[in-house]
A = this chain, B = another copy of it.
Amino acid sequence: MTVGELLQHGDYGIGTVQDLDGEMVVIAGKAYQVTGSGKINQLKPEQAAPFATVHFNAPHAQTTLKDIDKSALEQHLLEKYPYRNVFFAVKIEGEFAVMHTRAVEAQKKPYPSLTTATKTQPTFDAKNVQGTLIGYYAPALFQGVAVAGYHVHFLSADHQTIGGHVLDYHLKQGQVAIQPFATLQQHFPLDDQAFLKEDFDYGDMDRSINQAEK
Contacts and interface: CB of A to CB of B under 8 A. Distances in A.
A56 interface: no
**By CB atoms of chain B within 10 A, which of A144, A183, A185, A205 has the most?**
A144
B182 A187 contact: yes
A85 B140 contact: no
A176 to B, nearest CB: 20
A198 B85 contact: yes
B196 A86 contact: yes
A183 B182 contact: no
Nearest to A202: B140
B188 A186 contact: no
A61 interface: no
A180 interface: yes
A141 interface: yes
A196 B85 contact: yes
A180 B184 contact: no
Measured as residues with beta carbon below 8 angstroms from the partner, the interface class of chain A is: 20 to 34
B196 A141 contact: no
For this chain, the copies found in one complex come to 2
A214 interface: no
A1 to B, nearest CB: 11
B184 A186 contact: yes
B82 A197 contact: yes
A190 interface: yes
Nearest to A82: B196
A182 to B, nearest CB: 5
Contacts of A181: 188, 190
B202 A139 contact: yes
A51 interface: no
B144 A200 contact: no
A1 B195 CA distance: 34
Contact of A144 (B143, B183, B202): B143
Interface in A69-115: 82-87
